[in-house]
Amino acid sequence: MNDCRRISRRVVLTSAALSLGAATAAAVVSRAVAQQKISQADAKYQAAPKADQRCDGCLNFQPPNACKFVQGDISPSGWCQLFTPKS
């Protein structure tokens, strides 16, 4: 095998390894960010609605009883200061 072929294969393999490493790192960071939720106290969460605003009408609600941004059990009829109405 001549030197050009050997170098070319090395470049291809190194590039593939770097790409895989970057993709893996991005996935880990993304998962870590997704797992960070704030406490119910910090969100000023309450188990009752605020006027006509309720968790089940919020963009961040994850049925049956979770929220994208707030920790713990979330009641569909609850509310917090991060309320974001569905369209």
Residues within the interface to ligand SF4 (CB under 6 A): 43, 45, 55, 58, 60-61, 67, 69-70, 74, 78-80, 82-83
Between 11 and 41, name the residue whose CB sits nearer to ligand SF4: 41
Q: Least separation, in Å, of the C-beta of 45 and ligand SF4?
A: 5
CB neighbourhood size of 86 (10 A)? 9
Q: Least separation, in Å, of the C-beta of 35 and ligand SF4?
A: 15
Between 41 and 67, name the residue whose CB sits nearer to ligand SF4: 67
Is 51 in a helix, a strand, or coil? Answer: coil
Q: Least separation, in Å, of the C-beta of 26 and ligand SF4?
A: 26
DSSP line for 66-80: EESSB-S---TT-B-
Phi, psi of 20 (to 5 degrees): -65, -40
Tell me the two tokens of residue 9: 């294969």
